[in-house]
Amino acid sequence: MSKLATTLILLGVALGCLACADADGGNDCRSDADCASSASCASANDDGPRCGMGPPADECSGDADCDAPARCGVVDRNSCQEHVACVAPCDGSSCPADESCGADGRCAPTPCTGGFTCAAWRSCGGEGGAVDVHGCVTPSCATDFDCDDGTVCVNQLCAPDAGTCELPVP
Protein backbone atom coordinates (compact mmCIF):
# COMPACT_ATOMS: atom_id res chain seq x y z
CA MET A 1 0.00 0.00 0.00
CA SER A 2 1.35 3.41 -0.89
CA LYS A 3 2.18 6.01 1.74
CA LEU A 4 -0.54 8.28 0.30
CA ALA A 5 -3.21 5.55 0.52
CA THR A 6 -2.24 4.78 4.11
CA THR A 7 -2.41 8.49 4.99
CA LEU A 8 -5.85 8.80 3.39
CA ILE A 9 -7.16 5.79 5.30
CA LEU A 10 -5.86 7.18 8.60
CA LEU A 11 -7.37 10.58 7.78
CA GLY A 12 -10.72 8.93 7.01
CA VAL A 13 -10.65 7.08 10.34
CA ALA A 14 -9.72 10.27 12.17
CA LEU A 15 -12.66 12.06 10.57
CA GLY A 16 -15.08 9.30 11.60
CA CYS A 17 -15.34 7.63 8.21
CA LEU A 18 -15.21 4.09 9.57
CA ALA A 19 -17.79 2.84 7.08
CA CYS A 20 -16.15 4.22 3.94
CA ALA A 21 -15.84 1.77 1.12
CA ASP A 22 -12.51 2.97 -0.21
CA ALA A 23 -9.30 4.63 0.91
CA ASP A 24 -10.06 8.03 -0.61
CA GLY A 25 -13.05 8.55 1.71
CA GLY A 26 -15.82 7.87 -0.83
CA ASN A 27 -18.71 5.76 0.35
CA ASP A 28 -21.09 5.39 -2.61
CA CYS A 29 -22.18 1.78 -2.85
CA ARG A 30 -24.41 -0.50 -4.89
CA SER A 31 -24.37 -3.45 -2.45
CA ASP A 32 -22.98 -4.44 0.96
CA ALA A 33 -19.92 -5.87 -0.84
CA ASP A 34 -18.86 -2.27 -1.61
CA CYS A 35 -18.65 -1.40 2.10
CA ALA A 36 -16.26 -2.17 4.94
CA SER A 37 -17.03 -5.44 6.71
CA SER A 38 -18.90 -3.81 9.61
CA ALA A 39 -20.97 -1.50 7.37
CA SER A 40 -23.86 -2.06 4.99
CA CYS A 41 -25.09 -0.27 1.89
CA ALA A 42 -28.10 1.88 2.80
CA SER A 43 -30.34 3.46 0.15
CA ALA A 44 -33.41 5.64 -0.15
CA ASN A 45 -35.42 2.41 -0.27
CA ASP A 46 -34.64 1.46 3.33
CA ASP A 47 -37.53 1.74 5.78
CA GLY A 48 -35.36 2.83 8.67
CA PRO A 49 -31.84 2.80 10.06
CA ARG A 50 -29.61 -0.25 10.25
CA CYS A 51 -29.81 -1.29 13.89
CA GLY A 52 -26.92 -2.72 15.86
CA MET A 53 -29.01 -3.66 18.88
CA GLY A 54 -32.51 -5.04 19.00
CA PRO A 55 -35.53 -2.94 19.98
CA PRO A 56 -36.95 -2.87 23.50
CA ALA A 57 -39.01 -5.87 24.52
CA ASP A 58 -42.67 -5.78 23.50
CA GLU A 59 -44.86 -4.58 26.36
CA CYS A 60 -48.06 -6.31 25.28
CA SER A 61 -49.31 -9.01 22.93
CA GLY A 62 -52.91 -7.89 22.63
CA ASP A 63 -55.43 -5.33 23.86
CA ALA A 64 -56.27 -7.51 26.89
CA ASP A 65 -52.79 -6.74 28.25
CA CYS A 66 -53.61 -3.01 28.39
CA ASP A 67 -55.81 -0.95 30.70
CA ALA A 68 -58.81 0.43 28.78
CA PRO A 69 -59.02 2.51 26.70
CA ALA A 70 -55.39 1.84 25.73
CA ARG A 71 -54.68 -0.54 22.88
CA CYS A 72 -51.66 -2.70 22.08
CA GLY A 73 -50.01 -1.03 19.10
CA VAL A 74 -46.75 -0.29 17.31
CA VAL A 75 -44.66 2.59 18.66
CA ASP A 76 -41.57 4.19 17.12
CA ARG A 77 -42.30 2.60 13.73
CA ASN A 78 -39.32 2.41 11.34
CA SER A 79 -36.76 3.14 14.03
CA CYS A 80 -34.35 1.03 16.05
CA GLN A 81 -36.79 1.37 18.96
CA GLU A 82 -39.87 -0.08 17.16
CA HIS A 83 -41.89 -2.36 19.41
CA VAL A 84 -45.46 -2.86 20.61
CA ALA A 85 -46.77 -1.19 23.74
CA CYS A 86 -50.01 -0.02 25.32
CA VAL A 87 -50.93 3.31 23.72
CA ALA A 88 -53.91 5.63 23.90
CA PRO A 89 -56.38 5.33 21.01
CA CYS A 90 -55.47 7.64 18.14
CA ASP A 91 -57.55 10.47 16.76
CA GLY A 92 -57.36 12.36 13.49
CA SER A 93 -54.23 14.30 14.47
CA SER A 94 -52.25 11.96 16.72
CA CYS A 95 -50.68 9.72 14.05
CA PRO A 96 -47.40 10.46 12.23
CA ALA A 97 -47.73 12.22 8.85
CA ASP A 98 -47.47 8.99 6.82
CA GLU A 99 -50.03 7.12 8.94
CA SER A 100 -53.79 7.25 9.42
CA CYS A 101 -55.99 6.54 12.42
CA GLY A 102 -58.02 3.40 11.83
CA ALA A 103 -61.50 2.57 13.10
CA ASP A 104 -59.82 0.37 15.73
CA GLY A 105 -58.05 3.40 17.24
CA ARG A 106 -54.60 2.38 15.98
CA CYS A 107 -52.26 4.34 13.73
CA ALA A 108 -51.30 2.40 10.60
CA PRO A 109 -49.39 3.28 7.42
CA THR A 110 -51.58 5.20 4.97
CA PRO A 111 -51.87 3.17 1.74
CA CYS A 112 -50.95 4.80 -1.55
CA THR A 113 -54.48 3.97 -2.71
CA GLY A 114 -55.74 6.02 0.26
CA GLY A 115 -53.77 9.25 -0.13
CA PHE A 116 -50.10 8.45 0.53
CA THR A 117 -47.87 9.69 -2.31
CA CYS A 118 -45.16 7.26 -3.41
CA ALA A 119 -41.65 8.54 -4.14
CA ALA A 120 -41.03 9.48 -7.80
CA TRP A 121 -39.13 6.26 -8.60
CA ARG A 122 -41.88 4.05 -7.13
CA SER A 123 -45.39 3.26 -8.31
CA CYS A 124 -48.59 2.63 -6.37
CA GLY A 125 -49.45 -1.05 -6.64
CA GLY A 126 -48.30 -3.35 -9.37
CA GLU A 127 -45.70 -6.10 -9.56
CA GLY A 128 -42.03 -6.60 -10.24
CA GLY A 129 -40.28 -5.33 -7.14
CA ALA A 130 -40.38 -4.69 -3.42
CA VAL A 131 -43.60 -3.39 -1.86
CA ASP A 132 -43.37 -1.06 1.15
CA VAL A 133 -45.89 -0.62 3.99
CA HIS A 134 -47.82 1.95 1.93
CA GLY A 135 -48.19 -0.33 -1.12
CA CYS A 136 -45.56 1.54 -3.15
CA VAL A 137 -43.60 -0.73 -5.48
CA THR A 138 -39.87 -0.26 -6.07
CA PRO A 139 -38.70 -1.93 -9.30
CA SER A 140 -36.15 -4.72 -8.89
CA CYS A 141 -32.92 -4.70 -10.90
CA ALA A 142 -29.64 -6.44 -11.57
CA THR A 143 -27.88 -3.45 -13.18
CA ASP A 144 -28.54 0.26 -13.77
CA PHE A 145 -29.86 -0.64 -17.24
CA ASP A 146 -32.88 -2.30 -15.55
CA CYS A 147 -33.87 1.03 -13.94
CA ASP A 148 -35.61 4.06 -15.46
CA ASP A 149 -33.56 7.10 -16.45
CA GLY A 150 -32.29 8.99 -13.44
CA THR A 151 -32.28 5.97 -11.11
CA VAL A 152 -29.59 3.44 -10.28
CA CYS A 153 -29.53 -0.15 -9.04
CA VAL A 154 -28.73 -0.41 -5.29
CA ASN A 155 -29.20 -3.68 -3.38
CA GLN A 156 -31.11 -5.07 -6.39
CA LEU A 157 -33.73 -2.29 -6.24
CA CYS A 158 -33.89 0.91 -8.32
CA ALA A 159 -33.09 4.02 -6.27
CA PRO A 160 -32.68 7.75 -7.01
CA ASP A 161 -28.99 7.75 -6.01
CA ALA A 162 -26.18 5.38 -5.11
CA GLY A 163 -26.34 4.05 -1.57
CA THR A 164 -24.04 5.03 1.28
CA CYS A 165 -22.02 2.74 3.51
CA GLU A 166 -23.37 3.03 7.06
CA LEU A 167 -22.47 1.49 10.37
CA PRO A 168 -25.32 0.05 12.46
CA VAL A 169 -27.08 2.46 14.81
CA PRO A 170 -26.56 1.33 18.42
Encode pLDDT of 82-114 as tens digits.
899 999 999 878 999 999 999 999 999 999 999
pLDDT for 76 equals 87
Whether residue 133 contacts residue 115, with contact meaning beta carbons closer than 8 Å, is answered with: no
Residue 124: strand pairing partners:
136
Asked whether residue 97 is assigned to any structural domain, the reply reads yes
pLDDT for 54 equals 83
pLDDT for 38 equals 84
Residue type, 51: C
Asked whether residue 78 is assigned to any structural domain, the reply reads yes
Q: Using CA atoms, how far apart are residues 164 and 29, in angstroms rounded to an integer?
A: 6
Domain that holds residue 90: 63-109
User: Is the full-model pTM beyond 0.85?
Assistant: no
Asked whether residue 82 is assigned to any structural domain, the reply reads yes
